[in-house]
Amino acid sequence: MVSHSELRKLFCSADAVCFDVDSTVIREEGIDELAKFCGVEDAVSEMTRRAMGGAVPFKAALTERLALIQPSREQVQRLIAEHPPHLTPGIRELVSHLQERNVQVFLISGGFRSIVEHVASKLNIPSTNVFANRLKFYFNGEYAGFDEMQPTAESGGKGKVIKLLKEKFHFKKIIMIGDGATDMEACPPADVFIGFGGNVIRQQVKDNAEWYITDFVELLGELEE
């Protein structure tokens, strides 16, 4: 068990910080918002709850939910335009502070790349630092599935992305921050996992994370000390 002071030192000396997106960087769960927009909210929300709690393999849960939603390209574009995701308070300042310290910031999400890239642009995070699932569409814009080859499409995918980042960029210390079971299981290979409960508290994560916060102000405070 690493002491809290050691965890704080690791966070302040990290050369890369990876954030989950849904219910962490943004207040919503993107797939639930898409389901609501497409009129199948209740059934999909229950599936998301089970998937985030670690009760269902991620790819199976994603396949099942998308089969229900069947989102078209136009619906995804309209969702982003008409109901853009809301940034979690403090995230803009935290990312900006990390970038000022030359820390690389990545978004690693089981959500959809089109939505996550929109979020990344709001935070001045380059699209090359975004890892998320790609929806596929037929030429007429109808839903055609998702790219199952993306590492984020399966359980353990976030850990695979972090392993790739370490191999490619030779980062010495990577921090993973997120609200869900899929975020917690990415450590290792991440060096530190920080559980985030500012939008939703997942009991399994709260009980098992060595460092658990409910406000990004706490991390900003660590950087400013």
Q: Which one of the listed residues 20, 32, 183, 191 is annotated catalytic?
A: 20
Distance, in Å, from the CA atom of 107 to the CA atom of 116, rounded to the nearest integer, reads 8
Question: Tens digits of per-residue pLDDT, 37-48?
Answer: 888 887 777 776
- Is 147 a residue of the active site? no
Backbone phi and psi for residue 155, each to the nearest 5 degrees, phi listed first: -60, 140
Domain boundaries, the chain: 4-224
pTM for the predicted model, two decimal places: 0.86
In CATH terms, the fold of domain 4-224 is Rossmann fold (3.40.50)
Active site residue 22: yes
**Catalytic site residue from 15, 22, 42, 207:** 22
State which residues of the chain have pLDDT below 70: 1-3, 11-12, 48-55, 223-225
pLDDT of amino acid 38 = 84
DSSP symbol at 9: H
